[in-house]
Amino acid sequence: MWKSDHIETNTIHGGKTSQGEFGPLSTPIYQTSTFVFDSVQQGADRFAGESQGHIYSRLGNPTVDELEARMALLEGTEAAAAFGSGMGAVSASVLGLLKQGDHMVTSHRLYGCTFALFNHQLPAFGIEVSFVDLSDEAAVRGALKPNTKVIYGETPINPCLSVIDLDMIAAIAKPRGITTIIDNTFMSPVLQQPAKHGIDIILHSATKFLNGHGDVVAGILCGPKEMMDHIKMTTRKDMGAIISPHDAWLIIRGLKTLHLRVERHNQNALSLATYLSEHPLVAKVDYPGLPGHPGYKLLGKQMRGGGGVLAFEMKGTFDQAVAFMNQLQMCKRAVSLGDAETLIQHPASMTHSTYEPEELAAAGIPRTLIRLAAGLEHVDDIIADLEQALSAASAGEAAA
């Protein structure tokens, strides 16, 4: 198995295990639900874990194995586990590590479905969850309890792009035997590798930058082999959030251009953040790549760039923000990120609609906040579309 010190090489060659019978350059798709045993004894040995080999694709598949090997290498972990969605990975991780009576500390700002799982579903299983500002060391330490088993966060955080100091989180958690889980979707392993900062489990919605083409829904966990094996053989196996071999293959294909795409996403997002921060109709821009952002101090230390996603608050009313979004022509009104197209969405009514109004306020998500995921288009064309939509929204407000 090839391994380089350079992520540009590893996204193409690293972790490749499935050469196939005929030596194909592209990874084969093992589009099969089950696998044939040479004998009853061989089948029995595989079920007992006494011999290597595949049994059934919900338990493992050669194409999926290669995706997991590649992602473990890119994130610098021992192993990985692939899932049928990002939320499948989130659910499998926390339910695989927590039980009734346990306590988890997490961020007061989270992706909407993750928040709904933690706020509405986990308590039904007898799991206590505390929501705090994970960028505040005192708040994190103050939330800990004797039964705290997990600290879970996103960095940058969806949708406000707040940044968490991973070294700080690991320093709090490790001496207490608390498992740390960080959602690295917004950065990808090209710009951030949480395991290098002491984080135990790294999570991705593989739907986003890893795949990069808007045609897959998937999730990935990367972490210690013992933890990954436990999750695979419990919550993934029994709850069934398994990735298909074809989707795994599409992500493997996407990984080959990951470093090139992320570089362009990052460049475009920085240019867009700079443009919007100077626009008279924009009240505030949240982007870690801007010097005024609180997370900027972690550039070079934790992150290699600000990423491909930014958020901005418009001046004026909610209706004016809606008018701006409806006026866009090239930028697509759609959730998700990491696609070739620039995607724009309204968190309060879309991705974070699971929050009640008071929860939105507590999380600092105003109704005029807009999240933009920079695409791969020429940045001048993205700016031109934003400019005409902002001008139209301003004219409409003035006329009203």
pLDDT (tens digit per residue) in 361-377: 777 778 889 999 999 99
CB within 8 Å of 248: residues ≥ 6 apart: 61, 63, 64, 66, 67, 82, 218
Does residue 19 carry a pLDDT above 80? no
Does residue 238 carry a pLDDT above 60? yes
Task: Specify the pLDDT at position 151.
Answer: 98
Q: Where are the domains of the chain?
A: 7-255, 258-399
Bridge-based pairing of strands 219-223 and 179-183 is unpaired
Split at pLDDT 50, 70, 90, the class of 20 is: low
Bridge-based pairing of strands 309-314 and 282-286 is antiparallel
- Among 27-36, 186-195, 388-397, top mean pLDDT goes to 186-195
Topology of the domain comprising 7-255: Aspartate Aminotransferase; domain 2 (3.40.640)
Task: Specify the pLDDT at position 399.
Answer: 43
Tokens 């939105």 correspond to 360
Task: Specify the pLDDT at position 116.
Answer: 93
The model's pTM is: 0.93
Segment 46-75 mean pLDDT? 94
- Let me know if 50 is exposed, middle or buried by CB neighbors in 10 A (0-12, 13-18, 19+): exposed
Split at pLDDT 50, 70, 90, the class of 154 is: very high
Catalytic residues: 58, 111, 183, 208
Percent of the chain with pLDDT over 90: 81
Split at pLDDT 50, 70, 90, the class of 12 is: confident
Amino acid (one-letter) located at 164: I
pLDDT (tens digit per residue) in 101-142: 999 999 999 998 999 999 999 999 999 999 999 999 999 999
Topology of the domain comprising 258-399: Aspartate Aminotransferase, domain 1 (3.90.1150)
Task: Specify the pLDDT at position 25.
Answer: 85
